[in-house]
A and B are shown apart, each in its own frame.
Chain A
Amino acid sequence: RSCLKSSPVLHKQNSSPQPPPAKYGGRHTVTLIPGDGIGPELLNHVRELFRFSCVPVDFEVVNVNSSVATEDDIHNAITAIRRNGVALKGNIETNHNMPPSHKSRNNLLRTSLDLFANMMHCQSLPGVQTRHKNIDIIIIRENTEGEYSSLEHESVSGVVESLKIITRYNSLRIADYAFRLAREKGRRRVTAVHKANIMKLADGLFLQCCKEVASGYPDIQFDSMIVDNTTMQLVSKPHQFDVMVMPNLYGNVVSNVCAGLVGGPGLVPGANYGTNYAVFETATRNTGKSIADKNIANPTAMLLASCLMLDHLRLHDYANMIRGAVLTTMNETRLHTADIGGQGTTSEVVQSVMKNIQSGGPLTTEQI
């Protein structure tokens, strides 16, 4: 299979990149980018919780000012992440009324660090009221190319062309990531989401690459579905989905639909993996401007993202301890913020998590 000879497969045991080793004293340094909106307050809670739980992680805070035109801040952040290898971030606002030269800082970060895989594990929480129950879907989204290539030009006045780039290299890479992860987690089916009936060359190439990789994983079932049908199926029969892999834009759509299905943007953590770096954040990347600094934001997604980060650093005991406490608060104590129908404040939720950690609450080894 000549295609696989030139494939960018990482010849390692598992799908995630190697974490940087702990420094002297067994402590890790992680880059922290507060971002805008609810980012700063949620990340403060993470730091508070880590201090409380004696997590051996030190944060190097790098602020990125989204209102200035220069890209110095984001490049400083990128440098810091190259140095530390791992980051936890809030969303940086993009003013879409600025000219095209002012690019999305978040996108710049992802492409510069080549964080090619966005991973989102969507699981229903028993303690949260939703229309659909028991959803368990892993979404793998290509994170660097596709419609997010930022290649646009006005060829003739009043006519704009935006280029969507699909490459064999990145398609094989993301498909390989998806199948490796599926195998690692004991999942049985991978569904590729596409629109190859219309975008015959671009999505056709993506689909072809998925099929090629699938042939190397006979233990895992592979099928494909057109994106519009996918969204229709998700809102009516979400349980048919297991692991899904797709190009950038469809990933954006499907991630948000799934996050909505399990209870909203405040609950789901997300991870961005590259060959050498990993950046953790909330799955739906919202700035939450309208609820910032009001102590009403749901800290769950960010707290769970910090647990994903701890897992990445192989600090599994700390990860499980915090995750267990968060889930207890959500499912048993049921202290909920307004976005999921409760009346608790952000700090009340965090206090409850700390109380659960202190009382040595039900330690769970359930991976989220």
Chain B
Amino acid sequence: DFTKSWIIILQTVTLIPGDGIGPEISTAVMKIFEAAKAPIQWEERNVTAIKGPGGKWMIPTEAKDSMDKSKIGLKGPLKTPIAAGHPSMNLLLRKTFDLYANVRPCVSIEGYKTPYTDVDLVTIRENTEGEYSGIEHVIVDGVVQSIKLITEEASQRIAEYAFEYARNNQRASVTAVHKANIMRMSDGLFLRKCREVAENFKDIKFTEMYLDTVCLNMVQDPTQFDVLVMPNLYGDILSDLCAGLIGGLGVTPSGNIGANGVAIFESVHGTAPDIAGKDLANPTALLLSAVMMLRHMGLHGQAKKIETACFDTIRDKKVLTKDLGGNSKCSEFTGEICRRVQDME
């Protein structure tokens, strides 16, 4: 205890500010973390795609090296270039670090009113295969086939992650979302792997539900859901549906878990070029993603402190950015959260 108070271990986090409002919301997060005295050392990196040896598109070596070393990343929105000749940056990052799980906790924000209250669920989406394998063919003129790939390995991996997450975050149940009535083999395989993994996690309740039933029930009573695990497409749709329940992408955090211990947390909204550089952006999504990151790193106390300061500011309604219904600047909103964090010391 004597030594603990003198040794502060700084964790390095690779920060990718991104485009548009990315830089300003990243600055906001860094300011808040400084005010909270969070033991984080930021290493800023750029991820514009470059052509590597052999003509393959890749992220810059400095960015990859930084992430491989730190294992933790925080990322702002990246713009999707049209006709740039290379795949989307998000796809590139996903492939580079084998980010197989996309995790989105959706919790109703008190003070930011939506028709849905008491939402508290987590969507865990398999992010490498499924319907987004990108394998499509024209069979004959006018007939196209798109291949959905489900593998035993990926299904097992995502199921294991989901149950581990549930255990580590004190969640009571995991629900596998599927359409095995129609896609018997593919979703059937996914379901089987989930059932197998569930056997090793008897402390967590396991249920299965059809995708359509989940959608039907989600919009009537989202409180019945806890952790949801599913293949790529269903995850894409459901995670956005759930974000809509709590107020949209501007307030929803997101994390991507990769193999080899890499985890990249990100805001999932766009770059908002129309308000970029005008001190109008709302940093909440990136901030809550950073809070998610702190929890992932085991820094629960810090996470709670920052999250509470953010939610209190929103609930108070005195200093809110435009999208939250107020007319304060990003810097003012950030400043208010910093003040609250400091008051908590």
Contact = CB atoms under 8 A, between A and B. Distances in A.
B182 A233 contact: no
18 contacts: A94-B181, A96-B188, A147-B179, A147-B182, A153-B185, A158-B152, A160-B150, A160-B186, A162-B186, A166-B145, A168-B142, A200-B136, A227-B236, A257-B218, A260-B216, A264-B216, A264-B220, A284-B212
A199 B180 CA distance: 21
Interface string A133-171: 000000000000001101011100011111111111100
Interface residues of A, number: 60
A224 to B, nearest CB: 16
A201 B146 contact: yes
Contacts of B151: 158-160
B335 interface: no
Contacts of B115: 131-132, 235-236
Interface stretch (B27-35, B67-75, B165-173, B237-245): B237-245
A202 interface: yes
A231 B234 CA distance: 12
Interface residues of B, number: 56
A153 B149 CA distance: 10
Given A152-B184, A252-B211, A260-B216, A168 B143 contact: yes
B329 interface: no
Given A148-B182, A233-B244, 9 more contacts: A100-B185, A150-B184, A152-B186, A160-B150, A161-B149, A167-B142, A198-B134, A255-B212, A257-B219
Contact of B237 (A103, A104, A231): A231
Residue of A166, A228, A255 with highest tally of chain B CB at under 10 A: A228
A358 B78 CA distance: 65
A148 B115 CA distance: 33
Interface in A152-210: 152-154, 158-169, 195, 198-203, 205
Contacts of A205: 142, 144
Interface of A: 94, 96-100, 102-104, 107, 131-132, 147-148, 150, 152-154, 158-169, 195, 198-203, 205, 227-229, 231-236, 249, 252-253, 255-257, 259-261, 264-265, 284, 286
B327 interface: no
Given A96-B180, A152-B185, A231-B240, A201 B137 contact: yes
